[in-house]
């Protein structure tokens, strides 16, 4: 906590003096520190804050490295659309509690892909991602849910109950997709004389896969529309 307070004070002082540590003379070629100027700055700030020069120097270098890395991340995002995310991992998964964990990713990938990658890299079996207090939806992209370059997200392990609920939901979604595919297959084989009451494979459901009670006439119209759509897709080679 004391180190965090020191970093906050130093950042405030740097901002007041409009000192940019990622630029010369504080950062030289190959992103190496400008030793002389960094040491002079450390001595001056140590005197100002009444602290040890070594502690101030270490904190200033940490700020400088973080700024340099952020600049690199901005460039990669501009050039390659690769976003840099900061992950707040569970305590037992952090290699070094004092070091921030970053991960590069495209923002158009599904949240589930990112969770699979995080789980593999950090040995986490079942997790959820939290951004600004909101749990990210696994089958939507990062970009759709407001994730941006340099976003900070929390990685939480699921409890047994949450893991079972997530597994059941995924299974229900897969079964719903399979029913839909089966329905399209049946429709593609019909000649237009389809009767929804005598074809139990087909049912109209909401987005969660729960069957909806639909009147016979409306169900028939809906299914015939699906049949026409399937025929059009087949004609287009889709």
pLDDT, one tens digit per residue, over 29-70 is 899 999 999 999 999 999 999 999 999 999 999 999 999 999
The verdict on whether omega for the bond into residue 25 sits within 30 degrees of 0, i.e. cis, is yes
60 in helix, strand or coil?
A: helix
Query: Pairing between strand 134-135 and 127-131?
Result: antiparallel
Q: What's the pLDDT score for residue 189?
A: 59
Q: What's the pLDDT score for residue 34?
A: 95
pLDDT tens for each residue of 184-228? 566 555 555 555 555 554 566 666 667 766 666 666 666 667 666
State the CB neighbour count (10 A cutoff) for residue 33: 19
Average pLDDT over residues 113-137: 93
Query: Pairing between strand 101-105 and 134-135?
Result: unpaired
Give the C-alpha separation, 125 to 164, whole Å. Answer: 13
CA within 13 Å, CB half, 38: 23
Domain extents in the chain: 2-79, 83-158, 163-235
- pLDDT-derived band at 1 (thresholds 50, 70, 90) equals very low
pLDDT at 9 over 70: yes
pLDDT tens for each residue of 81-92? 999 999 999 988
Identify the burial level of 27 via C-beta atoms within 10 angstroms of its C-beta, where 0-12 means exposed, 13-18 middle and 19 or more buried. buried
Give the C-alpha separation, 138 to 145, whole Å. Answer: 10
Full DSSP string of 146-198: T--TT-EEEEEEPPHHHHHHHHHHHHHHHHHHHHHHHHHHHHHT--S---GGG
- What's the CATH number for 83-158? 3.10.20.90
Give the C-alpha separation, 61 to 56, whole Å. Answer: 9
Identify any residues that bridge with 86 across adjacent strands, giving them in sequence order. 102, 152
Order across the sheet with 83-88: list the strands. Answer: 101-105, 83-88, 152-157, 127-131, 134-135
């Amino acid at each position: 906590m004391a180190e965090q307070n020191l970093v906050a004070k130093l950042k405030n002082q740097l901002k007041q003096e409009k000192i940019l540590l990622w630029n010369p003379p504080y950062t030289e070629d190959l992103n190496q520190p400008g030793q002389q100027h960094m040491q002079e700055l450390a001595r001056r700030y140590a005197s100002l804050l009444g602290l040890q020069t070594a502690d101030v120097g270490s904190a200033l270098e940490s700020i400088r490295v973080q700024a340099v890395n952020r600049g690199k991340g901005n460039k990669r995002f501009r050039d390659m659309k690769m976003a840099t995310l900061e992950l707040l991992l569970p305590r037992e998964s952090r290699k070094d509690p004092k070091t921030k964990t970053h991960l590069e990713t495209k923002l158009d990938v599904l949240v589930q892909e990112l969770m699979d990658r995080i789980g593999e890299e950090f040995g986490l079996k079942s997790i959820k991602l939290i951004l600004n207090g909101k749990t990210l939806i696994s089958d939507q992209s990062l970009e759709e849910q407001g994730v941006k370059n340099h976003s900070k997200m929390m990685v939480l392990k699921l409890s047994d109950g949450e893991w079972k609920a997530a597994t059941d939901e995924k299974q229900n979604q897969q079964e719903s997709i399979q029913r839909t595919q089966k329905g399209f297959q049946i429709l593609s084989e019909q000649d237009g004389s389809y009767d929804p009451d005598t074809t139990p494979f087909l049912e109209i459901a909401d987005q969660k896969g729960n069957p909806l009670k639909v009147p016979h006439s409306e169900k028939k119209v809906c299914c015939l529309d699906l049949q026409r759509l399937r025929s059009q897709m087949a004609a287009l080679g889709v």
